[in-house]
Amino acid sequence: SVYGACMKSNTRLACQAAVSLFSSKFQYTGKGLYVGIAGDPAGGEYSNLFPNVKFVTFDKDERWKPDVVGDITKTQFQDSTFDLVVCVQVIEHVDNIFAIPTELNRITKLNGYVIIDCPWMFKYHAEPPSFKDYWRISPDGFAYLFKQFKLVELASNEHNTSCLFQKVS
C-alpha cells in the first residue's frame, strides 16, 4: 500500500524524531486523543511516548478499528475534553483543513497540548477509499492555521513540518 511505503519514508522518520522530541519536553498526563490510526499499532504509533496519557483513538475509517469513528473537523466530543491531542501525518488528508484548528481548540483543555505534523516536500500519497491527499503545510502555514494556540516548539526540515502547540486561552 501507499501508506506502508510512507511509513518507511524520510517524512515518517522526521515525524518520529519530532514527536520524540516533543514528548520529552513536558510531563504529559490525563486524557489524550490520537487522531488517524490507519495501520498503527494499538493505541497509536507514538502513544508509548506518553506513558501517563490515556488515549482514545480516532479515525474517519471504521476499518482501522479506532475507539471512535468520526470527522476531525466536527467531532462529537465535549468542549475541553483532552489534555493532549496527537494528530500526525493526518492533516494533509483532510479536505476542510481550516476547520481542524477550531475543532482542536474546542476539544483541548486550557493549557493542554496539540502535536500536529504534515509532510512538506513529499509525493502524493492517497489511499482511497480511506483517505485522499490534499495539502502540504510550511512552518508559516502552521503558524497561520493554529494562530489561536501558542507555538511551543517547531521541528521543520525538507521532509516535515512538526509543531507542538499549547492552548493558552
Q: What is the 3-state secondary structure (H, E, C) of the chain?
A: CHHHHHHCCHHHHHHHHHHHHHHCCCCCCEEEEEECCCCCCCCCCCHHHCCCEEEEEEECCHHHCCCEECCCCCCCCCCCCEEEEEEECCHHHCCCHHHHHHHHHHHEEEEEEEEEEEECCCCCCCECCCECCCCCCCHHHHHHHCCCCEEEEEEECCCEEEEEEECCC
Q: What is the pTM of this model?
A: 0.91
6 has pLDDT over 60 = no
Task: Give tens-digit pLDDT for 128-156.
Answer: 777 888 889 999 999 999 999 999 999 98
Q: What percent of the chain has pLDDT over 70?
A: 95
> Can you give the pLDDT at residue 9?
67
Q: How confident is the model at residue 86 (pLDDT cuts 50, 70, 90)?
A: very high
